[in-house]
Amino acid sequence: MSIIGHIKLSWRSLSGPVRGFLKRAAICYISWKVLYLTLLQPFRVPDAFLTKSTAGFACYILSGLDPGARFISREVIVPVPGGRMPVYDMYWICRNGHKSLGIADGCNGLELMALYGGFLFCMPTSTVRLLGFLAGGTLLIFAVNAMRCMVIARMCLQRHPLADMAHHYLFKLLVYGLVFGMWVLYVRREEQFM
Protein backbone atom coordinates (compact mmCIF):
# COMPACT_ATOMS: atom_id res chain seq x y z
CA MET A 1 0.00 0.00 0.00
CA SER A 2 1.26 3.48 -0.85
CA ILE A 3 1.87 6.26 1.64
CA ILE A 4 -1.27 8.06 0.43
CA GLY A 5 -3.23 4.85 0.95
CA HIS A 6 -1.97 4.64 4.54
CA ILE A 7 -2.91 8.28 5.13
CA LYS A 8 -6.44 7.70 3.77
CA LEU A 9 -6.84 4.58 5.89
CA SER A 10 -5.60 6.40 8.99
CA TRP A 11 -7.94 9.33 8.27
CA ARG A 12 -10.95 7.01 7.94
CA SER A 13 -10.07 5.29 11.21
CA LEU A 14 -10.43 8.57 13.14
CA SER A 15 -13.76 9.31 14.77
CA GLY A 16 -16.06 11.92 13.22
CA PRO A 17 -15.49 14.58 15.93
CA VAL A 18 -11.70 14.22 15.63
CA ARG A 19 -11.85 14.58 11.84
CA GLY A 20 -14.11 17.63 12.25
CA PHE A 21 -11.66 19.19 14.72
CA LEU A 22 -8.70 18.57 12.41
CA LYS A 23 -10.55 20.04 9.41
CA ARG A 24 -11.49 23.17 11.36
CA ALA A 25 -7.91 23.44 12.68
CA ALA A 26 -6.46 23.27 9.16
CA ILE A 27 -8.94 25.89 7.90
CA CYS A 28 -8.21 28.19 10.87
CA TYR A 29 -4.43 27.86 10.45
CA ILE A 30 -4.40 28.46 6.69
CA SER A 31 -6.90 31.34 6.97
CA TRP A 32 -4.88 33.01 9.74
CA LYS A 33 -1.57 32.72 7.90
CA VAL A 34 -3.00 34.04 4.63
CA LEU A 35 -4.77 36.92 6.40
CA TYR A 36 -1.76 37.82 8.53
CA LEU A 37 0.99 37.52 5.92
CA THR A 38 -0.90 39.24 3.09
CA LEU A 39 -2.99 41.92 4.80
CA LEU A 40 -2.05 42.48 8.43
CA GLN A 41 1.74 42.12 8.72
CA PRO A 42 2.66 44.49 5.86
CA PHE A 43 0.72 47.27 7.60
CA ARG A 44 1.66 46.12 11.14
CA VAL A 45 -1.99 45.64 12.11
CA PRO A 46 -2.44 44.85 15.02
CA ASP A 47 1.30 44.40 15.65
CA ALA A 48 2.10 48.10 16.09
CA PHE A 49 -0.59 48.58 18.73
CA LEU A 50 0.14 45.30 20.51
CA THR A 51 3.93 45.80 20.62
CA LYS A 52 3.56 49.36 21.89
CA SER A 53 0.99 48.28 24.49
CA THR A 54 3.16 45.40 25.70
CA ALA A 55 6.15 47.72 26.15
CA GLY A 56 4.01 50.40 27.79
CA PHE A 57 2.41 47.95 30.24
CA ALA A 58 5.81 46.47 31.12
CA CYS A 59 7.14 50.00 31.78
CA TYR A 60 4.11 50.76 33.94
CA ILE A 61 4.77 47.68 36.09
CA LEU A 62 8.51 48.45 36.29
CA SER A 63 7.79 52.03 37.39
CA GLY A 64 5.71 50.68 40.26
CA LEU A 65 8.51 48.36 41.34
CA ASP A 66 11.27 50.97 41.04
CA PRO A 67 9.66 54.37 41.75
CA GLY A 68 13.00 56.21 41.73
CA ALA A 69 13.58 55.34 38.08
CA ARG A 70 11.87 56.57 34.95
CA PHE A 71 10.84 53.80 32.58
CA ILE A 72 9.70 54.63 29.08
CA SER A 73 9.13 52.70 25.90
CA ARG A 74 10.76 54.24 22.87
CA GLU A 75 10.12 53.24 19.26
CA VAL A 76 13.20 52.62 17.17
CA ILE A 77 12.98 52.13 13.41
CA VAL A 78 15.75 49.94 12.04
CA PRO A 79 16.23 49.32 8.30
CA VAL A 80 16.30 45.65 7.39
CA PRO A 81 18.69 44.93 4.52
CA GLY A 82 17.18 42.62 1.94
CA GLY A 83 14.00 42.15 3.99
CA ARG A 84 10.44 42.17 2.77
CA MET A 85 9.64 45.27 4.79
CA PRO A 86 11.74 48.43 4.52
CA VAL A 87 11.79 49.09 8.28
CA TYR A 88 11.61 47.08 11.44
CA ASP A 89 9.92 48.78 14.37
CA MET A 90 10.97 47.87 17.87
CA TYR A 91 10.06 49.33 21.23
CA TRP A 92 12.80 49.59 23.80
CA ILE A 93 12.18 49.55 27.53
CA CYS A 94 14.51 52.22 28.89
CA ARG A 95 15.46 52.99 32.50
CA ASN A 96 16.61 56.55 32.97
CA GLY A 97 17.52 56.72 29.29
CA HIS A 98 19.45 53.41 29.18
CA LYS A 99 18.09 50.64 26.96
CA SER A 100 17.38 47.37 28.72
CA LEU A 101 15.12 45.28 26.47
CA GLY A 102 13.88 45.55 22.91
CA ILE A 103 10.39 44.28 22.13
CA ALA A 104 9.82 43.44 18.48
CA ASP A 105 6.57 42.47 16.80
CA GLY A 106 7.50 38.79 17.16
CA CYS A 107 7.54 39.22 20.95
CA ASN A 108 4.11 40.80 21.35
CA GLY A 109 2.19 37.55 21.80
CA LEU A 110 -0.04 37.90 18.71
CA GLU A 111 0.82 34.47 17.29
CA LEU A 112 0.15 32.86 20.66
CA MET A 113 -3.19 34.66 20.92
CA ALA A 114 -4.08 33.44 17.42
CA LEU A 115 -3.08 29.88 18.34
CA TYR A 116 -5.18 30.02 21.51
CA GLY A 117 -8.18 31.47 19.69
CA GLY A 118 -7.85 29.02 16.82
CA PHE A 119 -8.09 26.09 19.22
CA LEU A 120 -11.21 27.58 20.80
CA PHE A 121 -12.86 28.03 17.39
CA CYS A 122 -12.21 24.36 16.60
CA MET A 123 -14.14 23.12 19.63
CA PRO A 124 -17.93 23.08 19.43
CA THR A 125 -19.52 25.24 22.13
CA SER A 126 -21.94 28.10 22.67
CA THR A 127 -21.09 31.54 21.29
CA VAL A 128 -21.26 33.20 24.71
CA ARG A 129 -18.85 30.67 26.20
CA LEU A 130 -16.50 30.95 23.21
CA LEU A 131 -16.41 34.76 23.40
CA GLY A 132 -15.90 34.71 27.18
CA PHE A 133 -12.94 32.34 26.99
CA LEU A 134 -11.56 34.18 23.96
CA ALA A 135 -11.66 37.60 25.64
CA GLY A 136 -10.48 36.39 29.04
CA GLY A 137 -7.70 34.22 27.64
CA THR A 138 -6.45 36.89 25.24
CA LEU A 139 -6.25 39.46 28.04
CA LEU A 140 -4.48 36.95 30.29
CA ILE A 141 -1.96 36.12 27.56
CA PHE A 142 -1.32 39.85 27.03
CA ALA A 143 -0.81 40.50 30.76
CA VAL A 144 1.46 37.47 31.25
CA ASN A 145 3.51 38.41 28.17
CA ALA A 146 3.93 42.00 29.44
CA MET A 147 5.03 40.67 32.84
CA ARG A 148 7.44 38.32 31.06
CA CYS A 149 8.94 41.33 29.24
CA MET A 150 9.12 43.25 32.51
CA VAL A 151 11.01 40.45 34.28
CA ILE A 152 13.39 39.99 31.35
CA ALA A 153 14.03 43.76 31.23
CA ARG A 154 14.79 43.77 34.94
CA MET A 155 17.14 40.79 34.53
CA CYS A 156 18.92 42.57 31.65
CA LEU A 157 19.30 45.74 33.73
CA GLN A 158 20.92 43.69 36.50
CA ARG A 159 23.01 41.81 33.93
CA HIS A 160 21.71 38.56 35.33
CA PRO A 161 23.59 35.59 33.82
CA LEU A 162 20.36 33.64 33.23
CA ALA A 163 18.52 36.42 31.36
CA ASP A 164 19.08 34.84 27.95
CA MET A 165 18.06 31.37 29.15
CA ALA A 166 14.95 32.82 30.82
CA HIS A 167 13.99 34.66 27.63
CA HIS A 168 14.47 31.76 25.23
CA TYR A 169 13.37 28.79 27.33
CA LEU A 170 11.94 29.35 30.81
CA PHE A 171 9.36 32.01 30.01
CA LYS A 172 8.27 30.29 26.80
CA LEU A 173 7.68 27.13 28.80
CA LEU A 174 5.63 29.04 31.37
CA VAL A 175 3.54 30.96 28.82
CA TYR A 176 2.84 27.90 26.66
CA GLY A 177 2.01 25.97 29.85
CA LEU A 178 -0.52 28.66 30.74
CA VAL A 179 -2.14 28.42 27.29
CA PHE A 180 -2.28 24.63 27.54
CA GLY A 181 -3.88 24.94 30.99
CA MET A 182 -6.52 27.31 29.61
CA TRP A 183 -7.26 24.83 26.81
CA VAL A 184 -7.67 22.02 29.34
CA LEU A 185 -10.03 24.19 31.40
CA TYR A 186 -12.02 25.03 28.26
CA VAL A 187 -12.35 21.38 27.20
CA ARG A 188 -13.16 20.08 30.70
CA ARG A 189 -15.83 22.68 31.29
CA GLU A 190 -17.30 21.89 27.87
CA GLU A 191 -17.56 18.20 28.83
CA GLN A 192 -19.61 19.22 31.88
CA PHE A 193 -22.13 21.02 29.65
CA MET A 194 -22.60 18.06 27.28
Residue 194, pLDDT > 60, answer no
Residue 7, pLDDT > 70, answer yes
Residue 87, pLDDT > 90, answer no
pLDDT band at 82 (very low <50, low <70, confident <90, very high): low
Q: Please tell me the number of Cα atoms within 13 Å of 13 on its side-chain side.
A: 6
Residue 155, pLDDT > 90, answer yes
Mind listing the pLDDT tens digit for each residue in 179-189? 999 999 999 86
pLDDT attached to residue 113: 97
pLDDT attached to residue 181: 96
d(CA 193, CA 132): 15
Residue 85, pLDDT > 60, answer no
